[in-house]
């Protein structure tokens, strides 16, 4: 028997009245999140989704609103991982590590390197730059509590360690950055070569400022256009014969699971579309 069943999926843009605004809202981020997510305003209906970067208060607003509205992800605190070898110096590595530690007192900053000399230079440079950095008092707490320097035997080991750490930002400054581009799997955003850095990505070149933290890069990426598309599936059985045949399988599975009302959804169609008798709440033969 030829079974005809139509299966498919439809993608819809997530609707948000916020997208209709013609003038800017000048509110604090977390206040805006709560207002638009829960209440709306006199002219704006409650939105369907809230996305974008923010501090700990924004993350908490998203956490409390999740379920009532969609969110991109709950991110923070920020993280940075620098992968470097002897082709760069300690000052450059330290500058890029401390660039993120000024965010707060709980920002992980990690150096992975195959060069013990670079590791020692970087640790010495940290002390020097923290003494002259205007935000050094804040950055020094993160470095003291969350800073790490890990010396590896090879590029392969650095890849394994980096994927284990699964950092939000991963900056690669090695002889062959392309090797890491081809082999790394767990990161929020990757910055290849000494000419780029996390600040460039955050402020100018993108591609994103809302990225996974807390090892979430093992299973998700950052905010992207796909977050604004939802997939709705549909099913349509096209013939009487198909419905009856599928119903027989469905009936037996439902009875085995003890879902007898489910089974009757299948049984009634077996009776009507095949003319066969099925005992009420029983399994189709």
Catalytic site residue from 103, 121, 125, 169? 169
Q: What share of the chain is helix, strand, coil (3-state, %, to 5)?
A: 45, 15, 35
Query: Per-residue b/e over 184-217, b at no fewer than 16 CB within 10 Å?
Result: bebbbbbbeebebbbeebbeeeeeeebbbbeebb
How far apart (Å, rounded) are the C-alpha atoms in residues 190 and 212?
12
Q: Which secondary structure element, helix H or strand E, spans residue 146, and what is its range?
A: helix 136-146
List, in sequence order, every beta strand (DSSP E) within the chain: 5-13, 49-50, 70-71, 80-84, 109-113, 147-151, 169-173, 189-192, 229-237
Radius of gyration over every alpha carbon of the chain, rounded to an integer in angstroms:
27
15 among known catalytic residues: no
Task: Report DSSP state, residue 197.
Answer: -
Q: Which of these is catalytic: 168, 248, 257, 262?
A: 168
Burial readout 87-100 (b: 16 or more C-beta within 10 A, e: otherwise): ebbbebbbbbbbbb
Question: Is position 168 annotated as part of the catalytic site?
Answer: yes
* Residue with the two structure tokens 């409390």: 64
The answer to whether the CB of 135 falls within 8 A of the CB of 104 is no
C-alpha neighbours within 13 Å on the C-beta side of residue 14: 18
Look up residue 38 and give its two tokens: 């829960």
The residue whose two tokens read 């780029």 is 196
Task: State the catalytic residues.
Answer: 168-169
């Amino acid at each position: 028997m030829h079974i005809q069943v139509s299966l498919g999926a439809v993608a819809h843009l997530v609707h948000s009245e916020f997208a209709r605004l013609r003038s800017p809202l000048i509110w604090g981020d977390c206040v805006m999140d709560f207002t638009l997510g829960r209440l709306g305003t006199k002219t704006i209906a409650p939105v369907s989704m809230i996305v974008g970067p923010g501090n700990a208060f924004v993350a908490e607003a998203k956490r409390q609103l999740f379920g009532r509205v969609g969110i991109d992800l709950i991110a923070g605190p920020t993280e940075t991982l620098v992968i470097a070898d002897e082709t760069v110096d300690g000052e450059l590595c330290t500058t890029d590590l401390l660039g993120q530690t000024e965010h707060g007192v709980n920002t992980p900053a990690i150096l992975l390197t195959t060069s013990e000399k670079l590791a020692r230079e970087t640790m010495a440079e940290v002390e020097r730059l923290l003494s002259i950095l205007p935000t050094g008092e804040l950055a020094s707490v993160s470095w003291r509590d969350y800073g790490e320097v890990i010396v590896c035997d090879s590029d392969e080991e650095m890849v394994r360690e980096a994927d284990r750490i699964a950092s939000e930002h991963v900056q690669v400054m090695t002889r062959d950055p392309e090797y890491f581009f081809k082999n790394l799997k767990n990161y929020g955003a990757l910055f290849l070569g000494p000419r780029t850095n996390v600040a460039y990505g955050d402020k100018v070149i993108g591609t994103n400022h809302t990225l996974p933290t807390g090892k979430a890069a093992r299973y998700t990426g950052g905010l992207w256009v796909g977050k604004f598309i939802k997939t709705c599936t549909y099913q349509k059985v096209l013939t009487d014969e198909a419905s009856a045949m599928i119903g027989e399988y469905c009936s037996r599975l439902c009875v085995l699971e003890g879902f007898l009302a489910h089974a009757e959804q299948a049984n009634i169609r077996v009776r009507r579309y095949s003319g066969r008798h099925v005992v009420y709440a029983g399994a189709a033969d």
